[in-house]
């Protein structure tokens, strides 16, 4: 016996289906920092806390020190630190500079709509 496919018959149902599938997506993030400084430590704490609050068990966060791995920074064309790159889900996003503005980070990661 063949399984029946779910049929989406309204805009509201479609939007709910998209929203539900977005909630299950895994986020792949890279945070580029410049050494172990107060600014780098603050960026790591902020980004990690936001991921734990909003993406619990749905994210990979790799922290890369551009002083220790200059080739990785060059390959990603990192011109300033800290820089947060969202590789997945698409589209790719780059957030450059101070990571203290939590709202900006959430909008950049497409976890909140711009106000």
> What is the number of residues in the chain?
115
Of residues 7 and 11, more confidently modeled = 11
Cα–Cα distance measured from residue 22 to residue 32, given in angstroms and rounded to the nearest whole number: 25
For 56, the token pair is 């619990």
Contact 48, 62 (CB under 8 A): no
For each of the domains in the chain, give its residue range(s) and CATH number, in order of start.
Answer: 26-108 (3.40.30.10)
- In this prediction, residue 85 has a pLDDT band, given cuts at 50, 70 and 90, of very high
Cα–Cα distance measured from residue 24 to residue 91, given in angstroms and rounded to the nearest whole number: 16
Q: Could you report the per-residue pLDDT of 25-78, keeping only the tens digit for each? A: 999 999 999 999 999 999 999 999 999 999 999 999 999 999 999 999 999 999
- In this prediction, residue 4 has a pLDDT band, given cuts at 50, 70 and 90, of low
């Amino acid at each position: 016996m063949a399984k029946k496919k779910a049929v989406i018959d309204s805009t509201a149902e479609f939007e709910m289906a998209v929203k539900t599938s977005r909630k299950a997506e895994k986020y792949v993030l890279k945070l580029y920092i410049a050494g172990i400084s107060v600014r780098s430590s603050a960026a790591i704490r902020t980004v990690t806390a936001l991921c734990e609050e909003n993406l619990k068990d749905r994210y990979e966060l790799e922290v890369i020190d551009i002083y220790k791995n200059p080739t990785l920074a060059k390959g990603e064309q990192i011109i300033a630190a800290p820089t947060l790159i969202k590789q997945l889900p698409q589209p790719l996003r780059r957030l450059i500079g101070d990571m203290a503005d939590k709202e900006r980070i959430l909008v950049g990661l497409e976890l909140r709509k711009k106000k």
